[in-house]
Amino acid sequence: MVTDAPLREPRTMTVGVVTLGLIGGSLALALRDRGIAVSVWDRNPTTRATAREAGLTAFDELEDLAASGVDLLVVASPLFAMSDIMVRIARTVPPHTTITDAGSVKERVRESVNAAGLGSQYVGAHPMAGTEKSGFAHADPHLFDGATWGLTLAEETKLTRALLVLQFITRIMSGRALVTTDRIHDDSVALVSHLPHVLAHSLTGIAATSPNRELAVRLAAGSFRDGTRVARGSATRNQAMIVDNSRAVLGAVDRAIELLTDVRDALDATEPGTEELTEFFTRGAPIVERASDGEASESEVSLDHANWAEQLLAIGATGSLVTGITVGADVAQAITVNVRGNM
Amino acid sequence: MVTDAPLREPRTMTVGVVTLGLIGGSLALALRDRGIAVSVWDRNPTTRATAREAGLTAFDELEDLAASGVDLLVVASPLFAMSDIMVRIARTVPPHTTITDAGSVKERVRESVNAAGLGSQYVGAHPMAGTEKSGFAHADPHLFDGATWGLTLAEETKLTRALLVLQFITRIMSGRALVTTDRIHDDSVALVSHLPHVLAHSLTGIAATSPNRELAVRLAAGSFRDGTRVARGSATRNQAMIVDNSRAVLGAVDRAIELLTDVRDALDATEPGTEELTEFFTRGAPIVERASDGEASESEVSLDHANWAEQLLAIGATGSLVTGITVGADVAQAITVNVRGNM
C-alpha cells in the first residue's frame, strides 16, 4: 500500500481553485463561507480583482498557486484548456498536493493529467450541479449544496488521494460521492445528461422547421416545455458538451435511433405493431419506478487497504452514494465509509 | 350563408357531456360550478350515480341525452369508442344540437362523425389540458382554467356551429381557441406532444437497458428528469395516444431519426463536424426565442360571413388565439373576435 500523502483533519485542509468560471467561482465562494483557506487563479486579471474583492486569495500566476503547496488543487477549467493547465501545474506543484477537477467528462481529463505526469496525484471528480448561466459573475456559494459528485478511480489512483477527495466532498462540501471509472462515468452522463440535451435540441429543431411552427408552439403543453428546457441554454455550450464526450454520446444517439426506428416501423405497419410498441413503452419501467422510490438504506462499509478501489467501485456500481468517511490519523488504521443507497 | 341553428346568450346555453372520464368529468363539474345547465351520460352506472351525487343530471341512456335537445353536446370519450358513440347519438339527436368533442386527435374523430352523418352539426375541439391521472374520481373543475383549445374546421363546418363552440370555449370555459384544420392539428400535436412522449420513453428505455443503469440514474440531473417526466405516466395511455395519431407521429419520428442521424454522423467524423453540429444546435433558436417572448398583442377582427373560416384559420396559422367573440342576436349582424398573439 502506498501512502504518499498524510491525511489532515478536513477543517484544516487548504484548497486551491484553478479558474473562476461558474463552477470554480461557486466552489471558491462555498469554501470561503465554510472557513476553508482557499486560494485561486484565473487567467483574467479583472476576474482575479473581483475575486480579491470577494475575500479570496488570488494568485497572479498559475505556477505560483501550484507551488504554494495546498493540500488539494481543484481544476475547474473548461475541457479545452485542461491540457495546457495541467502542464503548467506540473512545472511547480509539490508531490504532496492532490489534484482533482470538475470536468463533465473524465477520460479526456485523465489523458491530460497523465500526459503532464500527474496521474498518481490525481482523482477525477465531477460535481453534478450547474445552471444555464456561466462565469464568475453568476457564481453561487450554494450551487453545490447537497450535490452528488462523480468520483473516478483508475489503476494509478492512490488510496490517500481518493480519501482526501472523499473527505473534501463529504465533510467540507457536504456532498455525496458516486465512485466509478472514467469510462462508466462518461457513458453514464452521455445517457442521463448529454442525450437529453441532444433530444431537446431535436425537439426544438423539428418544431422550428415545421410548416406549422407558429401554431404548433402555441399548442405546446408540459411535455414539450419540459423536454426542451435545456435547449433554452447556450447552444454553443451544449454543442461543446456533446463534442467533449463524443464517443459516448455517439453510442447513446445510436441507441436512440435504434429505439426510434423500432417505433417508426411499428407505427408504419398496416396494423400498428402492438407487441413492439408495448415493449418500447414499458422498457423504461425499472427507471421510472426507481425514480419514484424515495427510500434509501444507510450503512457503513469498512475499506480493506488491499481492495479499497474495488470496494468503492462496487458501491458506485449499485448506484449507492458515499456520504461520509472516517479515517484514523494514521491511514493504516480503519477506514469507514458511510453509504446511502441500494447496498 | 347557412344559418342552421340560432345563437343564444352563452349563459343560457345547455350542454351535454358524453362519458365522464378525467376530461368529461372535469368539464361537467366546471360547467356545474359556472351555473350552466349540464346533463351527462356515462356507460358505467356507478359513475352515473357518483355524478348525481355531485349534482349533475345523469341520463341512463346515451340516446336519451342526445334526444334531450341540448345546444351543445361534448363527446369526451376515448378515441376507440368515438365511432360507436357517434352512431348512437345520430339516432336521436335533433338537428339544432351542435356536437363537439375533446379528442386529442381530430382526423379520426371527424371520420367517425361523418360516417354517422353528423358532419354539418360538428366542430372539432381539443382542450390542451390533462394530468397523468384518469377517471371521474380525479375530475377537477379547474383543469381547464385558462386552457388553450384546439378548434378545427372542415369544408362542411357551419358558421353558427363554430360560433357556438367559440362562445362555449371563450365565454363559458374562459379559455382561448387556436383555430386550425384537423390535419394541421394532428401534425402539430405530433410535434409538440406525441414526439416528446416518444423521446421521453426512449430516454428511460435507453437508461433502463444500460449496463450502468443503477449508477447512471443516480447521476441523472435536471435534463433527464424533465425530459422523462411524461414517461412516468401510464405507459398504456401513452402508447394509445401515439397509435391514435400514428400517421403524424410517424412523420415526426422520422424527422427525429433524420436529425439524430445528422448528429451521429457529425460526431463519428475524425474531427467532429462543427458546421453540421452548429446547425443542429441552433436550428431550434426561433422556437426558443418565441417561448421566452412573453408579450402578445391584443386585437379585434371582424369576421366576414363569406370568408369566416379562412379568416379564423389564418389567425390560427400565425399561432394567434381567439380569446373572445361578440355576435349580434341575428347572426347576419357583425361578428367580432378578440385575438391575442402575433397578428
**Which of A220, A277, A285 has the CB atom closest to B192's CB atom?**
A220
Grid coordinates given for B33: 360550478
Same domain (yes/no): A16, A151: yes
Residue linked to cell 461557486? A26
- Tell me whether residues A317 and B215 touch, CB distance under 8 A: yes
Q: Which three cell numbers stand for residue B34?
A: 359556472
Residue at which a domain ends, from A174, A200, A222: A174
- A328, part of any domain: yes
Q: What is the pLDDT of residues B12-70, one digit of tens each?
A: 899 999 999 999 999 999 999 999 999 999 999 999 999 999 999 999 999 999 999 99
Among the three residues A111, A142, A174, which one is the final residue of a domain in this structure?
A174
Q: How far apart are the C-alpha atoms of B170 and B148, rounded to whole Å? A: 10
Nearest to B259 among A202, A246, A341 (CB): A202
ipTM of this complex: 0.84
Q: Which of B129, B199, B239 sits opposite A227 (nearest CB)?
A: B199
Contact B338, B298 (CB under 8 A): yes
Domain co-membership, A228 together with A329 = no
E-only strand ranges, chain B: 14-18, 37-41, 57-59, 72-75, 98-101, 124-127, 148-153, 176-181, 297-303, 321-327, 335-341
Structure confidence at residue B297 (pLDDT)? 87
Residues B191 and B170 in one domain: no
Q: Do A191 and B256 touch (CB under 8 A)?
A: no
Number of Cβ atoms within 10 Å of the Cβ of A15: 21
B219-247 pLDDT, tens digit each:
887 888 888 888 888 888 889 888 989 99
What are the distances in angstroms from CA A31 to CA A36, A161, B138?
A: 5, 19, 48
CB contact under 8 A, B199 and A195: no
- Chain B CB contacts of A79 under 8 Å are none
> Distance between CA A172 and CA A194 in Å, rounded?
29
Residues A117 and A60 in one domain: yes
Q: Which domain holds residue B317?
A: 295-343
Q: Is the Cβ pair A228, B342 closer than 8 Å?
A: no
Say if the Cβ atoms of A219 and B185 lie within 8 Å: yes
With CB atoms and an 8 Å threshold, state whether A243 touches B196: no
The Cα of A103 is separated from the nearest Cα of chain B by a number of Å equal to: 14
Distance in angstroms (rounded) separating the CA atoms of residues B192 and B197: 9
CA distance A318 to A33: 34
A236 located within any domain: yes
Shared-domain flag, residues A239 and A301: no
Q: Is position A180 within any domain? A: no
CB within 8 A of B300, min separation 6: which ones? B336, B337, B338, B339
Per-residue pLDDT of chain A (343 residues; tens, 9 = 90+): 334 455 666 778 999 999 999 999 999 999 999 999 999 999 999 999 999 999 999 999 999 999 999 999 999 999 999 999 999 999 999 999 999 999 989 999 999 999 999 999 999 999 988 766 788 999 999 999 989 999 999 999 999 999 999 999 999 999 999 999 999 999 999 999 999 999 999 999 999 999 988 899 888 878 888 888 888 888 888 898 889 899 999 999 999 999 999 999 999 987 878 899 999 999 998 877 654 445 578 999 999 999 999 999 999 998 899 999 988 776 677 899 999 986 5
Whether residue A75 sits in one domain with residue A21: yes
Q: Compute the distance between CA of residue B157 and CA of residue B147 in angstroms, rounded to an integer.
A: 23
Q: Within a domain: residue B268?
A: yes
Q: Is A152 on the interface with B (CB under 8 A)?
A: no
- Do you know the residue count of chain A? 343
Please report residues of A whose CB lies closer than 8 A to that of B281: 201, 235-236, 238-239, 242
**Distance between CA atoms of B129 and A222, rounded to whole angstroms?**
9
Per the structure block, which three cell numbers stand in for B108?
379520426
Q: How far is B123 from chain A (nearest CA, A)?
A: 18
**B288 within some domain:** no
In a domain, residue A15? The reply is yes
User: In chain A, what residues touch B250 (CB-CB under 8 Å)?
Assistant: 264, 267-268
Mean pLDDT for chain B overall? 90
The total of structural domains in chain A comes to: 3
> What CATH number is attached to the domain comprising A238?
1.10.3660.10
Query: Which chain B residue lies closest to A254 (C-alpha atoms)?
Result: B264
| Same domain (yes/no): B233, B92 | no
B267 lies in some domain: yes
Any chain B CB within 8 A of the CB of A261?
A: yes
- Assess contact for A41 and A19: CB atoms under 8 A: yes
Per the document, the length of chain B is 343
| Residue B129 and residue B222 share a domain | no
Give the helix/strand (H/E) hosting B53.
Answer: helix B45-53
pLDDT digits (tens, 9 = 90+) for B177-204: 999 999 999 999 999 999 999 999 999 9
Residues B102 and B31 in one domain: yes
Chain B 194-253, residues with CB within 8 Å of chain A CB atoms = 195-210, 212-232, 235-236, 238-239, 242-243, 246, 249-250, 252-253
Which chain B positions have a beta carbon within 8 Å of A261's beta carbon? 257
Same domain for A14 and A156: yes
CA of A293, closest CA in chain B: separation in Å?
12
| Nearest chain B alpha carbon to A190 | B216
* A216 and A311 assigned to the same domain: no
